[in-house]
Amino acid sequence: MAVLACSRQAGTTVGSSPEVEARVDKLLGQMTLQEKIGQMNQVSAGGEVSNYADALRKGQIGSILNEVDPAKINEFQRIAVEESRLGIPLLVGRDVIHGFHTVFPIPLGLAATFDPALVEEGARVAALEATAQGVRWTFSPMLDIARDPRWGRMAEGSGEDTYLDARMGEAMVRGYQGASLDSTSMAACIKHFVGYGAAEGGRDYNSTFLTERQLRNIYLPPFEAAVKAGALTLMTSFNDNDGVPSTGNTFVVKDILRGEWGFDGLVVTDWNSMGEMINHGFGTDRKDVAEKAANAGVDMDMMTYGFLSHLEELVKGGAVKEKTIDKAVRNILRVKMLLGLFEHPYVDVEAARAVQYAPEHLASAQKSVEESVILLKNDGVLPLKGGRILVTGPLADAPHDQLGTWAFDGQKEHTVTPLQALRARFPGRVDYVPGLRYSREKRDNFADVTAAARRADIVLAFLGEEAILSGEAHSLADLNLVGSQSALLAALKATGKPVVAIVMAGRPLTIERDLPNVDALLYAFHPGTMGGPALARILAGEVNPSGKTPVTFLRTVGQAPMYYSHHMTGRPYNGETLLEDIPLEAGQTSLGNTSYYLDYGAYPLFPFGFGLSYTTFAYSGIGLDKKVYGADDTIQVTFTLANTGTCEGTEVAQVYVRDLVGSITRPVKELKAFLRVSLLPGESRQLTVQLPVSELSFTGLDGKRKVEPGDFQLWVAGSSQEGSPVAFAVQ
Ligand code: NOJ
């Protein structure tokens, strides 16, 4: 049932209305200062509800996180609504990051689908399951651009690209919150604001040093897009940028988010990120950091208890104005009202059960895996033909690990592993010898696996990372396959049997050394509940892989950070010699003096946007409707895409643009549009993409976002490293 008619009003990003504002004001007028501050306090609610009863009755808790039992959530709400003076319901939060019970691929895998509509559908499924149990707020989507795969949280976002990240972020916001707000709406929380993905060295929680122009051109646009899509809440990040921790950063929170974008949703800190400003050396004590956070525009404190303990004193002493508190509480109450919590604070515990793992939810999760898996190599061994199959590797039957990071509520009993799915799909044809039980296991004798491989016609090796190796606080300095997995592949290769590797991981691992030992390679990220059936269908050829890399795959970790949209240097790489090609006796010699590594060159293993198919595609006839455009025009890009192979397939056609000369140096290419196109064998189709010239804008030297007139190039291709450009100009 729709709770409120929320047509977007001017001046409100969350879709409030004069009626809602009047109700908020009325309630605010009845609140004591202590009750207001109570709303600004969020508490992690493990254990018995009775432990929180006293604080709830006093109105000292505005929100809880980490309780998912619907009966307990009802009890929390009952005390808040029926036993506190003003009866304000709680906002119940949870990290529902890639599904609630039905777990979807990790967000990085979802980004590989390049399919925002499907991602929106997945977020809707997550919202249906979570809200049925009383969870009305998810701490997702994570919009942090991540260009260093050592950072374990790359798993939680959409990868390296600003445009792709923005489209995925909007899709998730729409999916979580629904077309209009009702009892199945789960407030999205866009996080982590801002720059957290640029943590130095890929070490989690580390400092960032992003200039204002980098923020405005690369890191902020996905947040702005998600605010425009109606995101109800936002979370500040753990990092300090150029010396200022986000939770106390007035420039990004107050000036940009509130001021420039007019965000009137709720801003919450990350877990104790207010308190951590003391560790940063940005505040003397909890009172000091509470003052800094409140004055920066933060509304709710997650787990520092800084607001609850000190705001009253700070207001009385004049360091924080009561009108700052009123603004924060308005932002909180507004979200609660828009979600309809005042009318419907309780959930139906029995009905909640029926919603979890519904067949259509599992089907949606399976489709998401089918579109997210990337075919990185295929020497003709896939799809599978007849014969015996050896299944091996630590991820073949690891229901917990295939769920990936932040899958608290996914149950491994409901997870279908590749081994289970392949046995069901190919009855009597599958042998299973794990070889390694865990990805980190070390072993040097694979006699049991190789003997089994010799009896088989093809080997399917499921490798990668355990779930615990990626996600928050799980940075790695070495990105090769861990443990003895590479040795297992080498031993399998030595049997002479065709070997297919299926990698499940939270990040792009450096798999260059393994490629010669495999005849085909599928990259599945951590695929979630339905990973098994989806992979079985892809391997069998019922589904043709269509995923594309949402992030650059490095040859070696020393290349990090490497991303396709880098700026042109004064000495671009020009195909110069590598060190290994220079004879030792040559002595001192010039190696070219351009930008590359002597030992690893200038290119990655797989570029952004790359992915093969069981068929082949050809692009032709790329043309634009004009040669010269005005700033308000829309460019019509037409091209013909043909399926030149022998089976049906889906291609992600990508449009890249380069601004040749600017008031500042510009990226060599930037993704500006993409579309998924399905074609029958032999079919070809003429397609049109509308590209508003305003998409070419950037923030230049004068700090203003605009399109600078001049010459541009445009590519339409199947990856960021293919195709030839067509020229146009903007006047
Ligand atoms: C810390 C993480 O950084 C954040 O992403 C998460 O939402 C909160 N903890 C709550 O669990």
Q: Two tokens at 705?
A: 């976002």
Domain ranges of the chain: 18-350, 373-540, 617-730
List pLDDT tens digits, range 39-71: 999 999 988 999 999 999 999 999 999 999 999
Contact yes or no for 598/617 (Cβ under 8 A): no
Determine the atom of ligand 1 nearest the C-alpha atom of 142: 5
- Residue 639 CB-half CA count within 13 A: 26
Q: What is the 3-state secondary structure (H, E, C) of 112-173?
A: CCCCHHHHHHHHHHHHHHHHHCCCCEECCCECCCCCCCCCHHHHHCCCCCHHHHHHHHHHHH
Task: Please name the residue whose Cα sits nearest to atom 11 of ligand 1.
Answer: 95
Q: What is the Å distance from ligand 1's center to 730 Cα? A: 43
In 3D space, the residue among 190, 237, 204, 196 whose CA is nearest the CA of residue 13 turns out to be: 190
Contact yes or no for 193/236 (Cβ under 8 A): yes
- Among 237, 271, 406, 470, the mutation site with the greatest number of ligand 1 atoms within 8 A of its Cβ is 271
Q: What is the Å distance from ligand 1's center to 153 Cα? A: 11
> Poorest-confidence range of 109-118, 163-172, 334-343, 589-598?
589-598
Q: What is the Å distance from ligand 1's center to 122 Cα? A: 21
Task: Please name the residue whose Cα sits nearest to atom 3 of ligand 1.
Answer: 270
Phi/psi for 42 (5° steps) reads: -115, 135
* Four-way CATH pick for 18-350: 3.50.50.60, 2.60.40.10, 3.20.20.300, 3.20.20.140: 3.20.20.300
Q: Hey, which bits of 605-725 come out as E strands? A: 617-624, 628-629, 634-643, 649-659, 670-679, 684-692, 698-699, 705-706, 710-717
- Whether 95 has a pLDDT exceeding 90, the answer reads yes
Q: Which amino acid is at 527?
A: P
* pTM of the complete model beyond 0.85: yes
Residue carrying the six token digits 């949402």: 550
The mean pLDDT value for 479-495 works out to 98
What per-residue confidence (pLDDT) applies to 109? 99
- Residue 482 CB-half CA count within 13 A: 21
582 vs 644: which has the higher pLDDT:
644
Determine the atom of ligand 1 nearest the C-alpha atom of 139: 7
List pLDDT tens digits, range 139-156: 999 999 999 999 999 999
- Whether 577 has a pLDDT exceeding 50, the answer reads yes
The mean pLDDT value for 607-634 works out to 98
What per-residue confidence (pLDDT) applies to 3? 43
Task: Please name the residue whose Cα sits nearest to atom 4 of ligand 1.
Answer: 270
Q: Two tokens at 97?
A: 């990051």
Q: What is the Å distance from ligand 1's center to 217 Cα? A: 25
List pLDDT tens digits, range 291-324: 999 999 999 999 999 999 999 999 999 999 999 9
List pLDDT tens digits, range 340-382: 999 999 999 999 999 999 999 999 999 999 999 999 999 999 9
Q: Which residues form ligand 1's pocket by a CB distance below 6 Å?
A: 95, 139, 191, 270-271, 472
Task: Please name the residue whose Cα sits nearest to atom 10 of ligand 1.
Answer: 271
Task: Please name the residue whose Cα sits nearest to atom 1 of ligand 1.
Answer: 271
pLDDT confidence of 580, banded at 50, 70, 90? confident
The mean pLDDT value for 693-713 works out to 97
pLDDT confidence of 5, banded at 50, 70, 90? very low
Determine the atom of ligand 1 nearest the C-alpha atom of 238: 3
- Whether 6 has a pLDDT exceeding 90, the answer reads no
Contact yes or no for 675/652 (Cβ under 8 A): yes
What per-residue confidence (pLDDT) applies to 4? 42
Q: Two tokens at 599?
A: 């030992």
Helix (H, G, I), strand (E, B), or coil: what is residue 65?
A: strand
What per-residue confidence (pLDDT) applies to 588? 62
Q: What is the Å distance from ligand 1's center to 472 Cα? A: 8
In 3D space, the residue among 278, 532, 520 whose CA is nearest the CA of residue 401 turns out to be: 532
Give the CATH fold of the 373-540 domain. Rossmann fold (3.40.50)
Task: Please name the residue whose Cα sits nearest to atom 7 of ligand 1.
Answer: 139
Determine the atom of ligand 1 nearest the C-alpha atom of 140: 7
C-alpha to C-alpha distances, 24 to 28, 30, 133, nearest whole angstrom = 6, 10, 26
The mean pLDDT value for 397-423 works out to 97
Contact yes or no for 98/528 (Cβ under 8 A): yes
Domain 617-730 has CATH 2.60.40.10: yes
Q: Two tokens at 488?
A: 């297992």
The mean pLDDT value for 431-452 works out to 97
Active-site annotation holds for 270:
yes
List pLDDT tens digits, range 651-673: 999 999 999 999 999 999 999 99
What angle is formed at CA 85 by the lines to CA 32 and CA 133, rounded to 5 degrees? 115
Contact yes or no for 516/562 (Cβ under 8 A): no
Neighbouring C-beta atoms of residue 443, cutoff 10 Å: 15
Helix (H, G, I), strand (E, B), or coil: what is residue 306?
A: helix
- Among 472, 474, 475, the mutation site with the greatest number of ligand 1 atoms within 8 A of its Cβ is 472
**% helix / strand / coil in the chain, to the nearest 5?**
35, 20, 45
- Residue 413 CB-half CA count within 13 A: 2
Task: Please name the residue whose Cα sits nearest to atom 9 of ligand 1.
Answer: 271
- Among 268, 270, 276, the mutation site with the greatest number of ligand 1 atoms within 8 A of its Cβ is 270
Determine the atom of ligand 1 nearest the C-alpha atom of 189: 7
- Whether 111 has a pLDDT exceeding 80, the answer reads yes
Summary count for the chain: helices (H), strands (E)? 20, 26
Catalytic residue among 148, 270, 519, 659: 270
The mean pLDDT value for 267-271 works out to 99
Pairing of strands 499-504, 458-464: parallel
The mean pLDDT value for 515-536 works out to 98
- Residue 277 CB-half CA count within 13 A: 31
The mean pLDDT value for 634-659 works out to 98
Q: What is the Å distance from ligand 1's center to 271 Cα? A: 6
Q: What is the Å distance from ligand 1's center to 100 Cα? A: 16
pLDDT confidence of 7, banded at 50, 70, 90? very low
- Whether 589 has a pLDDT exceeding 80, the answer reads no
